[in-house]
Every structure is written in C-alpha cells, then in structure tokens.
Amino acid sequence: MRNHFWQTKSLLEMNEAEWEALCDGCGKCCYRKYIQGHGKRQKLYYTRIACDLLDVKTGKCGNYPERFKLETDCTKLTKKNLPDFHWLPQTCAYRLIYEGKPLPHWHPLISGDPNSVKNAGILIADGVHEKDVIDWFEFVIDAC
C-alpha cells in the first residue's frame, strides 16, 4: 500500500488491500435501517439494532469469513455497487471518498491507531441485537 493512497487514487484505482484498508471498522453499516414513505416523503431511518452477528462493543463482525452464509442479507460493498449504498453513514470512509471529502482525523489510516475510532465515539452506543427486538421504531437513532 502506498502512503496516503486515498488522496492520490480514485476508488476505482485502488487495489484490494487499499480498498479493504479504507474501512474504519466502525460497524455502523451492520445496524438495521429502514425506509418509510415514497418519493419526496421517503425517509431513511437509522437504528441501534445490530445484525445478530455483530459484536456491539467492538463494532466487529462475530464471524466475518462465514457472514454471507449466516446472514443472507449481508452484502459485500464493492467498487461496482458503491453507488447503491447511499444509506451508508456519513462518517463511512467509502462514502466520504466517493463524495470527494477527506477522511476524518480519527480514521486509523490517519491516526495509525485502530482504537481511535472507538476513542472518538464513532461506534453506535447501546446497540441491541435484532433477535432481541420486537418494535424497530423504538430503536431509531437518526433519520434523513
């Protein structure tokens, strides 16, 4: 990986290792979201309901190698499908680079510290697992 590759290469030019390194490991994409309404009235709701595989304390997947087998709606983020992921959180490195924005100071590629994401308070607090939830609406934390 070349130093500061995210500033010199486009997402399409990144190799596999660089693409993977962009993920800050926040785990926010592994929390449930839902859309209500249509057209101009459409709203996207973010919740603190985590995928059952997610370790809500660390933001890491509990079974990364087998995640697609165990969670059938788990989707791999790729260069090809990134434009469909408009629901990614605003702090997500893929979204930031896609929108031409800089990475934040707490991103491990900048801080050099894998704990800087947690220390900066980026992880979702009080996450609950989907299997323990009945009414999703009670766990909404944001909407746009």
| Binder among 25, 62, 104, 108 for ligand SF4 (CB under 6 A) | 25
Q: Among residues 104 and 133, whose Cβ is nearest to ligand SF4?
A: 104
What is the rounded CA–CA span in Å between residue 130 and residue 136? 9
127 binds ligand SF4 (CB under 6 A): no
Among 33, 24, 16, CA closest to 97: 24
6 half-sphere exposure, CB direction, 13 A CA radius: 24
Which part of the chain contacts ligand SF4 (CB under 6 A), choosing from 6-14, 20-28, 32-40, 67-75? 20-28
Report the helix count and the strand count for the chain, using DSSP H and E: 6, 6
Closest distance to ligand SF4 from the beta carbon of 76 (Å) = 10
Phi, psi of 117, rounded to the nearest 5 degrees: -65, -50
27 binds ligand SF4 (CB under 6 A): yes
Residues 75-114 that bind ligand SF4 (CB under 6 A): 77, 88-89, 92-94
Q: Among residues 15 and 58, whose Cβ is nearest to ligand SF4?
A: 58
Place of tokens 């190799």: 15
